Structure 1
Amino acid sequence: MARVGGRNAAFAWVVGVGCLAILGVLAALALPLIPASMTWFGTTVDTAQGTSQTAPTSAPVAAGEEGALPTECPALYDEALWATMRFTRGAVLTPSKDAPVTTATALVSALSPDVQLTCFWHADAGTVSTTLATVPPDAGAIAAASLPGSGFTCESVDERTRCTRTDGDLTETIEAGGGLWLSTSESAWHPAGYVSRTGDRIWG
């Protein structure tokens, strides 16, 4: 059979051996990276699972149920409200056990709320701060008697008292009942249904 013109067997062998050598070098360089890659993959999966476990559920927390009070901010929100808060432009959540943000300082001093959780949100739209605390059982009656003199309007909502005050861009709400306190201060940022939806998470 006639040889195809321009093909050199020796040159082809040299090129083939060279390619195999390059592949061998690349494989040797890649081997040390395999354990690190597996570690990164495992960490990523664990982080994703941990994030999904902290997502809030839709079940409310029963007032006065021992051990049932939320210990983390996501538990104060239903799924839709949690998404609204998180994905608002510039939103940053700072959890703490700081005292309630409110102008009703005299009531706070009188009741001395035992703060369980304060969730402070800052976003481009403004700020929202919510505090969950335990208070004496008669806190609702005390709030209804004292807060109207400070510009609050109080009403009975199921088994708790809700007092609200609006001054320009600031809206304050204080709810008390069943030994629980839930107060919210909204400055310029007013998420739809925020007060009623967080209240429903605590009192059902």
Structure 2
Amino acid sequence: MARVGGRNAFFAWVVGLGCAGVVGVLAFLAIPMIPASVSWVGGAVGGAIDPAATSGPVAAGDEDAVAGPPTECAQLYDQALWATMRFTKGAVLTPSTDAPTTTAEALVTALQPQVTLTCSWHSEKGDVTSTLATVPVDAGAIAAAALPGAGFTCTTQEESTRCTRTDGDLAETIEAGGGLWLSTSENAWHPTEYVTRTSARVWG
């Protein structure tokens, strides 16, 4: 095979060995950075998962994993509503087992709801508080009979009775059925379809 003019085999070998040496040195210098790089990638991937949304046994929006009524605030919301609530400017969630926030105090006294959880949201838009509790199985019928006199309008859902009342910026909802109670008080802040979507998490 004819040699190509202008090439020097010795020079080519020298250059090749030099390049290999440089690559080797760079690889050696990079070894200490491998653990840090792996840690950084792991942190970046982990950071994409919202720990607040996955706290507890079930993540918000994981309908298939929820067995029975919600037992913590994150489970009361589907993923989209949870994100809406959390990322509203100034939003702060305070979980508790406080009594229902409602003007229907006489009904609360009569039914004595046993509170499972109360989720109180405060933001620059206003306040939203929801309470999930257990009540007698006939609580829906009692609410439908008692609340219209207090300014509520009641309708029958598939598995519950829902009573609502609006007074200026205040919107109240009390829903009961199957031994469960879900009440919501929205003061100035009215997230889209909040009542319907939280109700679906309880009775859906």
State the TM-score bracket (shorter-chain normalisation). Answer: 0.7 to 0.9
Q: CA deviation at 1:69?
A: 2.6
Report the counterpart of residue 203 of structure 1 in structure 2.
Answer: 203
1:57 maps to 2:58: no
1:191 maps to 2:195: no
Q: CA deviation at 1:61?
A: 8.9
Q: 1:118 to 1:61 in 2, by over 3 A?
A: farther
User: Can you give the 5+ residue segments of structure 2 that lack an aligned partner in the other structure?
Assistant: 1-35
Tell me how far apart the structure 2 counterparts of residues 113 and 193 of structure 1 sit (CA, whole Å).
Answer: 24
1:138 maps to 2:138: yes
Does the residue aligned with 1:195 lie in a helix, a strand or coil? Answer: helix
Amino acid corresponding to residue 125 of structure 1 in structure 2: K
> TM-score under structure 1 normalisation?
0.73
Report the counterpart of residue 79 of structure 1 in structure 2.
Answer: 79
Tell me how far apart the structure 1 counterparts of residues 77 and 85 of structure 2 sit (CA, whole Å).
Answer: 9
**Residue pairs, 1:18-167, within 5 angstroms:** 51=51, 53-54=54-55, 55-59=59-63, 68-167=68-167
Tell me how far apart the structure 1 counterparts of residues 119 and 129 of structure 2 sit (CA, whole Å).
Answer: 6
Does the residue aligned with 2:181 lie in a helix, a strand or coil? Answer: strand
Does the residue aligned with 1:53 lie in a helix, a strand or coil? Answer: coil
Tell me how far apart the structure 2 counterparts of residues 61 and 103 of structure 1 sit (CA, whole Å).
Answer: 34
Amino acid corresponding to residue 61 of structure 2 in structure 1: T
Q: Which has the higher contact order (CA 8 A, sep 6+)?
A: 1
Aligned residue pair count:
167
Q: 1:61 to 1:130 in 2, by over 3 A?
A: farther
Tell me how far apart the structure 2 counterparts of residues 50 and 123 of structure 1 sit (CA, whole Å).
Answer: 20
Stretches of 4+ aligned residues off by more than 3 angstroms: 47-50
Q: CA deviation at 1:60?
A: 7.2
Q: CA deviation at 1:159?
A: 1.5
Amino acid corresponding to residue 129 of structure 2 in structure 1: S
Cα shift readout 1:83-142 (whole Å, capped 9, x = no counterpart): 000000110000000000000000000000000000000000000000000000000000
Q: CA deviation at 1:72?
A: 1.4
Cα shift readout 1:47-103 (whole Å, capped 9, x = no counterpart): 8578163331241798xxxx7232211100000000000000110000000000000
Judge conservation of contact 1:161–1:176 (CA < 8 Å) in 2.
yes
> TM-score under structure 2 normalisation?
0.73
Q: 1:81 to 1:144 in 2, by over 3 A?
A: same
Judge conservation of contact 1:114–1:134 (CA < 8 Å) in 2.
yes
Judge conservation of contact 2:184–2:195 (CA < 8 Å) in 1.
yes
Report the counterpart of residue 15 of structure 1 in structure 2.
Answer: none
> Percent of counterpart pairs with the same letter?
64
Judge conservation of contact 1:94–1:120 (CA < 8 Å) in 2.
yes
Tell me how far apart the structure 1 counterparts of residues 99 and 78 of structure 2 sit (CA, whole Å).
Answer: 24
Judge conservation of contact 2:69–2:201 (CA < 8 Å) in 1.
no
Tell me how far apart the structure 1 counterparts of residues 61 and 183 of structure 2 sit (CA, whole Å).
Answer: 21
Does the residue aligned with 2:63 lie in a helix, a strand or coil? Answer: coil
Does the residue aligned with 1:144 lie in a helix, a strand or coil? Answer: helix
